[in-house]
Amino acid sequence: MNLVDTFSDFKAGKNIDRPTMVRVLEDVFRTLIRKKYGSDDNFNVIVNTQQGDLELWRVRLIVPDGEVMDDRSQISVSEAISIDEDYEVGEECYEQLHLEDFGRRAIQAARQTLISRIMELEKDEIYRRYNERVGDIVVGEVNQVLKKEILVIDDATSNEVVLPRTEMIRGDYFRKGEIVRGVIKRVEMRNNAPVVILSRTDNVFLEKLLEQEVPEIEDGLITVKKIVRMPGERAKVAVESYDDRIDPVGACVGMKGSRIHGIVRELNNENIDIVNYTSNDSLFIQRSLTPAKVSSIEIDTENQRAAVYLDPDQVSLAIGKGGTNIKLASKLTGFELDVFRNVDEMEIDDVDLDEFADELESWVIDALKNIGCDTARSVLELSKEELLRRTDLEEETVDEVLRIFASEFEE
């Protein structure tokens, strides 16, 4: 393979801008000329990027025979006529050079240099292009499934990108050939090669999915103020509308949840709460604890803490499974949230059985629920004998249950 073939391959397969192509190719060929002639001062390198070929010309001043003082810049008239019989003294002689004139070894060395430069340019171009796209969604086909990461072919560029296991949502499972979506998190260099890292757990991924599903966000009528996530479990999104006629929460959720459902499916049924942003801290905390209904809030702005008071049946909703709801509400609002059950006697008419999970084993609570008792008072309304007969609980256990429930209402 000669240099022209290498150039043709370069031109056909690489997405590198034309001026850069010309500069690199000219560089390589001028180096070839300098090695053979000692200088490239009187040489023209013409690169034809359209045809995929090039021309090398040596330019020297024609002088009378016997008066050549510098054979790099001058040529005798008799030698010039042997190139073209119309040449005369005082004119410039253009002599076309051919790659074969440089020798096989020199051409091979130049070819290796060219390939090396092409690869470097390609790496730089991939790094630059993807670096400009950080935060954009990539859709691609799974090419290879490895232990720590998945290799994906980007549909838009056919380049290989990487989705690490650490950036995957719990429950994500992809096979070779499946389509996967992720957001470009960063581009890093490994062993002098660019590696594009995708993420499905990054908050930006959810933001971009919302942009795709909600035209009002893309149009700038609604802005996403903040997103907090526990990927695959729960997310809270604070949105704000710049148009009073648009309900930002309703627009994001869509008619009967049409807009949000697609995103929830993409994120492995991640529970997404959309809340209306406000600069009123108390109201924002209240909204962030959805679906729980807050009775009252005491805010300590100096220490960024807030005491939140709720009815007994709302406490478990506010905390959420494994504490997810209150943790995310705290991140969303920037306040450390302390949840308290209302202790006002008028408000505590009854207490849900689940509120006693810290004091009673779950199987005891389940046994009580199985006989139709969901609250402490509903259990206390039954006699000890009836509880023993209907639940099959031990007498000692029933005594403990009655003692705990009775003490709840003593104050």
What would the pLDDT profile of 328-356 be if each residue is shown by its tens digit?
Answer: 999 999 999 988 887 654 345 678 888 88
Residue with tokens 């256990």: 397
Query: 113 and 15 in one domain?
Result: yes
Confidence (pLDDT) at 123: 87
pLDDT of residue 83 exceeding 60: yes
Confidence (pLDDT) at 223: 94
Query: 334 and 362 in one domain?
Result: no
Domain membership of residue 301 (yes or no) is yes
Query: 11 and 113 in one domain?
Result: yes
Q: State how many domains the chain has.
A: 4
pLDDT of residue 10 exceeding 70: no
Query: 144 and 185 in one domain?
Result: yes
Query: 63 and 105 in one domain?
Result: yes
Q: 20: Cβ–Cβ under 8 A, 6 or more apart, which residues?
A: 121
Domain membership of residue 268 (yes or no) is no
Domain membership of residue 254 (yes or no) is no
Domain ends where: 185, 201, 217?
201
pLDDT band at 1 (very low <50, low <70, confident <90, very high): very low
Higher pLDDT, 102 or 14: 102
CATH of the domain at 51: 3.30.1480
Domain ends where: 79, 109, 129?
129
Domain membership of residue 159 (yes or no) is yes
pLDDT of residue 15 exceeding 80: no
Domain membership of residue 207 (yes or no) is no
Domain ends where: 106, 129, 152?
129
Measured between alpha carbons, how far is residue 12 from residues 51, 107, 112, 204, 397 in Å? 11, 21, 18, 36, 81
Domain membership of residue 261 (yes or no) is no
Query: 193 and 97 in one domain?
Result: no
- Which DSSP string do the residues of 351-387 spell out, in sequence order? -BGGGGTTTS-HHHHHHHHHTT--BHHHHHTS-HHHH
Confidence (pLDDT) at 46: 83
d(CA 183, CA 179): 14
Query: 143 and 117 in one domain?
Result: no
d(CA 398, CA 327): 35
Query: 120 and 28 in one domain?
Result: yes
Query: 119 and 8 in one domain?
Result: yes
What residue numbers bound the domain in which 65 lies?
3-129
d(CA 225, CA 349): 40
Confidence (pLDDT) at 346: 39
Q: Kindly report whether the global pTM for this prediction surpasses the value 0.75.
A: no
Query: 75 and 63 in one domain?
Result: yes
Query: 71 and 29 in one domain?
Result: yes
Query: 119 and 64 in one domain?
Result: yes
Residue 47: strand pairing partners? 54
Higher pLDDT, 111 or 284: 284
Measured between alpha carbons, how far is residue 189 from residues 117, 133, 160, 185, 244 in Å? 17, 16, 14, 14, 47
